[in-house]
Chains A and B, each alone.
Chain A
Amino acid sequence: EMQLVESGGGLVPPGGSLRLSCAASGFSFRDNWMYWVRQAPGKGPVWVSLISSTGNTKAYADSVKGRFSISRDNARNTLYLQMNSLRVEDTALYYCVKDTSSGWYDVWGQGILVTVSS
Chain B
Amino acid sequence: ENVLTQSPGTLSLSPGERVILSCRASQSVTSDYLAWYQQKPGQAPRLLIYGASNRASGIPDRFSGSGSGTDFTLTISRLEPEDFAVYFCHHYGKLQDTFGQGTKVEIK
Q: Which residues of A contact B (CB under 8 A)?
A: 33, 35, 43-47, 50, 59, 95, 99-100, 102-106, 108-111
Contact = CB atoms under 8 A, between A and B. Distances in A.
Given A47-B97, A47-B98, A47-B99, A102 B51 contact: yes
Contacts of A35: 97
Given A44-B88, A45-B88, A50 B95 contact: yes
Q: How large is the interface on B (under 10, 10 to 19, 20 to 34, 35 or more residues)?
A: 20 to 34
Given A47-B97, A47-B99, A105-B35, A95 B44 contact: yes
A115 to B, nearest CB: 17
Dominant secondary structure at the B interface: loop
Nearest to A109: B44
Interface of B: 33, 35, 37, 44-47, 50-51, 56, 88, 90, 92-95, 97-102
Contacts of B101: 43-44
B99 A104 contact: no
A6 B67 CA distance: 35
